[in-house]
Amino acid sequence: MDESVLNCEHGLGVSLRDATGDQCPPTLASALNYAVFPGGARVRPQLCLAVALANGNPEPGLASAAAVAVELLHCASLVHDDLPCFDDATTRRGKASLHAKFGERIAVLTGDALIVAAFQHMARAANTVSDPTRLASVMGIVSAGVGAPMGICAGQAWECESRVDVSLYHRAKTGALFVAATCAGAAAAGVPTPGWVELGNSIGEAYQVADDIQDAIADPDSIGKPTGIDIALDRPSAVRELGIDGAVKRLEACITRGLDSIPACRGRSQLHAVVQKHSNRFFPKGIKRSAA
């Protein structure tokens, strides 16, 4: 396991130990751990750390805290997204979804507590940060990626509207937290963030397209969650719009656009390699790629 993964798992462990500490109701404590461990690919926190590293990572404590916060918020969104009133998914990451295992009340509270834990973890990083104004900037970026008007909550809320701008919906539901990851990494390193928006947007869009492809063709057992949701819930999907081949082409184009967008920085080539490595995982097994 590489260093940035270990860094992230360690930070998540610290945050969870705090949240499940003395006097935590035992079921909530179990559910919090269940929601975060074992994790998925941890793409977002690694992207955050990789951007900070590519820019010299002068505030490693802050970059790590931002990475952990982004992942906690992602886990929170999965728990709430699986709830009966949304996707009503009974499996996630190859095991029972959180509400299927612990009940709906604990699932709502687990999501809430993870959101709070994310911000609490960043606030605690203040002790390790030499420039405390940078902390507020990172927090602002992270919160914009999850709240309203343009973060995950807003993205989910588009599912409740009769008229939806699909691009806006995907940018908010999926892209915003990737943008938060790249821009928080940049802000933690003290470099201007606008140059890092496109990387987050492109990888976010790639991730969404990959998810659409999986939903259309993958075997639920192999990916550990239900498939066929887009058609069942009549959701917009790159596969429904473009077919499988067209969706794969769009996925490739998103990744290329993201890679090309990486601003000049001292660790550009290493970052390029990290993004490439994670992007390779977006292609479902057996899929035909134009580049291959």
Binding footprint of a second copy on the chain (CB under 8 A): 18-29, 32, 76, 80, 83, 85-86, 103-106, 108-109, 111-113, 115-117, 119-120, 122-127, 132-133, 135-137, 139-140, 143-144, 146-151, 153-154, 156-161, 168, 172
Buried residues in 169-202 as b, exposed as e (16+ CB within 10 A): bbbbbbbbbbbbbbbbbbbbbbbebebbbbbbbb
Tell the smallest beta-carbon distance from residue 276 to a second copy (Å): 31
Kindly give the interhelix angle for 26-36 and 60-81, rounded to the nearest 10 degrees: 110
CA distances from 95 to 29, 77, 100 (A): 18, 17, 10
Answer positive or negative: Cα dihedral of 64, 67, 73, 77: negative
Q: Which is nearer to a second copy, 2 or 234 (CB)?
A: 234
Single out the residue of 65, 211, 176, 190 nearest to residue 137, CA to CA: 190
Q: Which is nearer to a second copy, 103 or 243 (CB)?
A: 103
Tell the smallest beta-carbon distance from residue 88 to a second copy (Å): 11
Q: Which is nearer to a second copy, 165 or 260 (CB)?
A: 165
Q: Which is nearer to a second copy, 22 or 234 (CB)?
A: 22
Q: Which is nearer to a second copy, 172 or 287 (CB)?
A: 172
Q: How far apart are CA 37 and CA 44, in angstroms?
A: 15
Tell the smallest beta-carbon distance from residue 78 to a second copy (Å): 13
**CA–centroid distance for 126 within its chain:** 23
Tell the smallest beta-carbon distance from residue 9 to a second copy (Å): 20
Tell the smallest beta-carbon distance from residue 157 to a second copy (Å): 4
